[in-house]
Amino acid sequence: MKAYFLFILAFPFLTHTIAWGQSPAQGKGAQTQPQAPPPGRQLTPAEEAQAIAQAQAAAKKFTLPQLKSELEQSPNPVLYTKQILKKRFKIDTIAVTKTRGFSSLADSLAYSGKERKVYGPFGDKGSQFLVQILTKAPNQFYHVSQIFIDTSVFRYRIADSLADKIMEKIRNGSSSFEQLAQTYSMGGEAVTKGDLGWIARGVLLPQIEHEIMQRKKGEVFKIWSPSGLHIIRKTDDPKQDTGFALMMRVFL
């Protein structure tokens, strides 16, 4: 994954490589990308420069839908943006931390967007940009539920005793984890009945993540942290999902 990302990032500095081919997006006879030379013959530097100039001139007349279509069809959209569209761009690597409740547009597109697809425009007038998903890479996700007892409110001994009573009710079936989370949890997860959703590897506290890896699906256990006592349930077995996305912002 890292090698591929570095390979993409290096492409803007290439000046003599170009993707050949004619895009069908422009209608009759329109050439939006440089034409390929006849089979068996290489373009001379002068011919290459002329082909690039022609493609640049055509690109200046693009409508927004045409521009998006060309980026999606280009075999190297980073080089195409730099050399043909002549637009400012930025490459972003986005780490997906969870699969719902996204905190930003970047997080949402990184997880939900399709590779090669161009989205937007986004932003205010005068500073708008498009976003293209260049590639994605997987990560492992854990489905976790929590009841959190804040030790800034309860003393450690009381918090520990309360946690034991909560876990006993879960084990003997007198109350469900969800009911007890709504009643006792002092974190935001109380409104979701304790469900934290699918959390990416590396996001949870190390001691919680380590313990989850040792536990079976459905097991409930408690973990101390500097902020309090966490009653954790391993709600599902881990799964692979989109964990990272390499995205390009093209500024209009």
The reported pLDDT for the residue numbered 33 is: 56
- Using CA atoms, how far apart are residues 112 and 134, in angstroms rounded to an integer? 13
Question: pTM, whole model, 2 decimals?
Answer: 0.77
Q: What is the pLDDT of residues 48-74, one digit of tens each?
A: 888 889 999 999 999 999 999 999 999
The reported pLDDT for the residue numbered 38 is: 66
For the stretch 216-220, contacts whose Cβ atoms lie closer than 8 Å and that sit 24 or more positions apart, written own/partner, are 220/167, 220/170, 220/171, 220/177
* Cα–Cα nearest to 232, from 250, 248, 213: 213
Q: Are 217 and 235 in contact (CB under 8 A)?
A: yes
Residue position matching structure tokens 């440089």: 34
C-alpha distances (whole Å) from 247 to each of 21, 84, 106, 114, 252 are 24, 19, 9, 11, 16
Q: What is the pLDDT of residues 202-222, one digit of tens each?
A: 999 999 999 999 999 999 999
Q: All domains of the chain, ordered by start, with CATH?
A: 1-87 (no CATH), 140-238 (3.10.50.40)
Which stretches within the chain are classed as H helix?
A: 2-10, 45-59, 64-73, 77-80, 105-112, 156-172, 177-184, 206-214
Q: What is the pLDDT of residues 70-91, one digit of tens each?
A: 999 999 999 999 999 999 999 9
